Amino acid sequence: MANPDVTFVAKSFMEHLPVYQVLVPFVSAPLCVLFGNRQFAWYLTFLACFISFIVSILLLNQVAEFGTISYALGGWPPPIGIEYRIDFLNAFLLVLVSGMALLTSVYLKGTIDLEVERSNQTLFLTCLLLCVSGLLGVLITGDAFNLFVFLEISSLSTYVLVAQGANKDRRALTASFDYLIMGTIGATFFVIGLGFLYAATGTLNMYDIAGRIQGDLPDRTIQVAFAFILVGLGLKGALFPLHTWLPKAYSFSPTPAAIFLASTATKVAIYAIVRFLFSVFFSHPTMLETVLVNVVMPLGILAMFVAGGIAFYQRDLKRMLAFSSVSQIGYILVGVSFMSSKGLTAAIIHLFNHGITKGLLFMCAGVIFLRYKASFYKEMSGLGRIMPWTSAAFLIGGLSLIGIPGTAGFISKWILVQAALEQGSWLIALAILLSSLIAVLYVWQVTEIMYFGDSSKKGFEISVGPFSYITIWILAVATIFFGLSTSFTLEYSSEAARVLLNEFSLTD
Amino acid sequence: MVGLTLDQLKILLTGHSIYWLFIILMMTGFYIVVSRGNLIKKIIGLNLFQTSVFLFYISIGKVSGGTAPILPMKLKVDDFSVYSNPLPHVLILTAIVVGVATTALGLSLIIRIKEAYNSIEEHDLLEEDRSQFSNENNEDRKFGGFF
């Protein structure tokens, strides 16, 4: 017997999915503070992340079934009201961000007692939820100013999360302060760019702006707006050489924060860059091409080599992973700068694959860090015998970082090399392969110490809960799964690239 | 200088004077952030930098000859009166809130830094970290009292 009320609720729930995506973690955050109990806060965090994960999967299904969703917030139709617009690209990344949020919330159940003071745990979870809702908001919104507000919600809570590492290492405070300065400059640059766009078009809806800046030649205002937006978002996305905040912020923040940031925060900023490039400024392909080929691509290639080289010289696991993140961002940017369907597919799939890989590596590094109270290579000598399972999971992540066949990282690099060859740029394909050799070096260094070093140091007895190990293995299996079965990732990312380039190729 | 007549120069300076003010203020703020070692001064510079953007937004909302965009409820409304654009003001209200939150967070971080390092000069902080962690990459570190 069907209850009419229930079907009504279910129907309106399905209709309002886009707003629930952001609202669930956003409302849960103050509820955590209100009740103030850290056990309750964890359950609420877990529940909120779980619901947003389910919502993101439902949204992806809806997009796959009905195409792009446009949701008018508060019933005000765009371009007057704020529009939430979901196509394949952001639906796909919503799954990544909410999924990583869910895994992080499970992981931190096992480690939070060891890393964050009890009195701060509720607030830590609150900030994590705010960060999640901010990042989800950046992904989902179609309004440029709304994007800025969500970007700042996520960034402000990120600064707090990073600073929580201070009771282990006081350098977390200066790392957080540096990040705050750089992040705010980035956000302000973004706002300046938006101001110019608004002055030129009189609208803030991204798709409306795109329609109004079409013309033969972009005027000076549009060019300036583009430059400011690219640099501003580049600062947030740790585009080489604007990455200087990233290594410190990742290596001194508490592990749950590092996991979530490394796997999602920079990805979301790069998403915003891609969105502006191909959904807003697409009507000026020559301007895009000039900037992408002359600025973004060289910087991307430079990032692959220089940041990879710096990662090789690190003697601290977390710092090495942070620099490797910067170099991996280089691959994504090179993929974007090809401006081809294959290149964008490679970039989008690498956003996803690198997200889960880096999440896995930071999860392992977190457990290792807690055992040895440091993450220096020399402490970890012989780890393969002391913590065989975690070391094995770390190895899987490392292989994926290099791009060994059978892991997720291989798929994205394979498509990226294909995209380079499609463009006829042999040199770039060669650069991608050579820089992968650097990844071999810095991953091998750790592997050698883990498996061939003498296990004289046993570390401290710690009680990391089973939750952390479960999430590590979920991600390790996912890394291999997405390396063997590409139907999910490849289908959605190529579809996303197709939708993005659809408008773009029309104007060519 | 190149190919710039006096008239063009005049327009460049006076016609765009609001932009010049905005750029000068913005660069002043930016310069303070980059050049000063004192963390409080950095935050002040950041504030100046943000404020210049707020002024820029407000200025683009101005419609020449326009009045305040307030609709009087009971007074007779002249259909032909020109109003300034209120939207940038609303945007900037939001941006001001973001700016206040950033400043508050920055200042509270400075308090924590002061407690941890007993200084808020960037130079001192670097020096102290360097002397404490200079050998972390090659020698064994003592963890006692630190964690």
How many whole angstroms separate alpha carbon A61 and alpha carbon A39? 33
Non-local CB neighbours of A92 within 8 Å, separated by 6+ positions: A60, A348, A352, A492, A493, A496
How many whole angstroms separate alpha carbon A297 and alpha carbon A281? 18
Helix (H) or strand (E) holding A398: helix A388-402
Does residue B75 belong to any structural domain of this protein?
Answer: no
**What are phi and psi for residue A72, nearest 5 degrees?**
-90, 115
pLDDT of res. B70: 76
Cβ <8 Å between A177 and B141: no
Does residue A499 belong to any structural domain of this protein?
Answer: yes
Q: Tell me which residue in A180, A195, A373 faces B102 most closely, judged by beta carbons.
A: A180
pLDDT of res. A181: 93
What is chain A's pLDDT, residue by residue, as a tens digit (508 residues)? 456 666 666 677 788 888 888 999 999 999 988 887 888 889 999 999 999 999 999 999 888 888 888 888 888 888 788 889 888 898 999 999 999 999 999 998 888 888 888 888 889 999 999 999 999 999 999 899 999 999 999 999 999 999 988 888 888 898 999 999 999 999 999 999 999 999 888 888 888 888 888 776 668 888 889 999 999 999 998 888 888 889 889 988 898 999 999 999 999 999 999 999 888 888 888 888 888 888 899 999 999 999 988 888 888 888 889 999 999 999 999 999 988 888 899 999 999 999 999 999 999 988 888 887 777 777 777 777 888 888 889 999 999 988 888 888 899 899 999 989 988 888 888 998 998 899 998 898 888 888 887 776 666 777 777 888 889 999 999 999 988 888 888 888 888 888 888 765 554 4
Q: Tell me which residue in A176, A181, A188 faces B53 most closely, judged by beta carbons.
A: A188
B-chain residues within 8 Å CB-CB of A149? 94, 98
Helix (H) or strand (E) holding A409: helix A408-422
Non-local CB neighbours of B14 within 8 Å, separated by 6+ positions: none
Task: Confirm if A161 and A127 have CB atoms less than 8 A apart.
Answer: yes
How many whole angstroms separate alpha carbon B143 and alpha carbon B131? 15
**What are phi and psi for residue A189, nearest 5 degrees?**
-60, -45
Cβ <8 Å between B102 and A156: yes
pLDDT of res. A448: 86
Separation of CA A80 from chain center:
30
Does residue B147 belong to any structural domain of this protein?
Answer: no
Cβ count within 10 A of residue B92: 21
**What are phi and psi for residue A114, nearest 5 degrees?**
-85, -15
Does residue A329 belong to any structural domain of this protein?
Answer: yes
Mutual angle of helices A144-163 and A118-140, in 10-degree steps: 160
pLDDT of res. B144: 30
Q: Tell me which residue in B53, B95, B109 faces A177 most closely, judged by beta carbons.
A: B109
CA atoms within 13 A on the CB side of A123: 12
Does B80 lie at the interface with A, CB-CB under 8 angstroms?
no
Non-local CB neighbours of A182 within 8 Å, separated by 6+ positions: A235, A242, A244, A245
Task: Confirm if A501 and A275 have CB atoms less than 8 A apart.
Answer: no
A-chain residues within 8 Å CB-CB of B95? 148, 191
Tens-digit pLDDT profile for residues A331-359: 999 999 988 888 899 999 999 999 999 99
Q: How many domains does chain A have?
A: 1
How many whole angstroms separate alpha carbon A460 and alpha carbon A466? 17
For testing contact with chain A, the best of B84, B91, B130 (most A CBs within 10 A): B91
| CB within 8 Å of chain A, chain B residues 88-127 | 88, 91, 94-95, 98, 101-102, 105-106, 109-110, 112-113, 116-117, 125
- Give the chain A residue whose CA is nearest to the CA of B138: A315
Does residue A446 belong to any structural domain of this protein?
Answer: yes
For testing contact with chain B, the best of A114, A174, A445 (most B CBs within 10 A): A174
Task: Confirm if A471 and A363 have CB atoms less than 8 A apart.
Answer: yes
What is chain B's pLDDT, residue by residue, as a tens digit (147 residues)? 456 777 777 777 777 788 888 889 999 999 999 998 899 999 999 999 999 999 988 888 887 777 777 776 666 666 667 788 888 888 999 999 999 999 999 999 999 999 888 888 888 888 888 777 665 544 333 333 232
First to last CA, chain A: 56
How many whole angstroms separate alpha carbon A288 and alpha carbon A338? 11
**What are phi and psi for residue A377, nearest 5 degrees?**
-55, -40
pLDDT of res. A98: 93
Cβ <8 Å between A170 and B136: no
Does residue B146 belong to any structural domain of this protein?
Answer: no
Q: How many domains does chain B have?
A: 1
Alpha helices in A141-280 (DSSP H): 144-163, 171-201, 206-212, 220-236, 245-252, 255-260, 266-275
pLDDT of res. A504: 58
Does residue B71 belong to any structural domain of this protein?
Answer: no
Task: Confirm if A392 and A479 have CB atoms less than 8 A apart.
Answer: no
Q: Which residue has the tokens 């994007």?
A: A147
Q: Which of the 8 DSSP states describes residue A460?
A: -
Instruction: Give percent helix, percent strand, percent coil of chain A, each to the nearest 5.
Output: 80, 5, 15
How many whole angstroms separate alpha carbon A412 and alpha carbon A483? 9
Measured between alpha carbons, how far is residue A329 from residues A259, A269, A334 in Å? 16, 11, 9
Q: Which residue has the tokens 């639906």?
A: A91
Q: Which of the 8 DSSP states describes residue A218?
A: -
Non-local CB neighbours of A208 within 8 Å, separated by 6+ positions: A78, A79, A201
The DSSP bridge partners found for residue A141 are A84
Measured between alpha carbons, how far is residue A116 from residues A55, A112, A187, A375, A385 in Å? 30, 6, 29, 18, 29
SS3 at position A276: helix
How many whole angstroms separate alpha carbon B55 and alpha carbon B136? 47
Does residue B70 belong to any structural domain of this protein?
Answer: no
Nearest-Cα distance to chain B for A102, in Å, is: 27
Between A and B, how many CB-CB pairs are < 8 A? 86
Mutual angle of helices A171-201 and B17-35, in 10-degree steps: 170
Does residue A15 belong to any structural domain of this protein?
Answer: no
Nearest-Cα distance to chain A for B42, in Å, is: 8
Tens-digit pLDDT profile for residues A293-337: 888 999 999 999 999 888 888 888 888 899 999 999 999 999 999
Does residue B74 belong to any structural domain of this protein?
Answer: no
How many whole angstroms separate alpha carbon B17 and alpha carbon B65? 18
CA atoms within 13 A on the CB side of A468: 25
Residue-range definition of the domain harbouring residue A398: 309-508
Amino acid identity at A438:
I
CATH number for the domain spanning B119: value is 1.10.287.3510
Q: What is the pTM of this model?
A: 0.90
Does residue A176 belong to any structural domain of this protein?
Answer: no
How many whole angstroms separate alpha carbon A101 and alpha carbon A98? 5
A-chain residues within 8 Å CB-CB of B39? 177
Does residue B73 belong to any structural domain of this protein?
Answer: no
Does A467 lie at the interface with B, CB-CB under 8 angstroms?
no
Residue-range definition of the domain harbouring residue B52: 6-63+84-132
Mutual angle of helices A266-275 and A144-163, in 10-degree steps: 170
How many whole angstroms separate alpha carbon B125 and alpha carbon B123? 5
Does residue B143 belong to any structural domain of this protein?
Answer: no
pLDDT of res. B147: 25
SS3 at position A72: strand
**ipTM greater than 0.95, yes or no?**
no
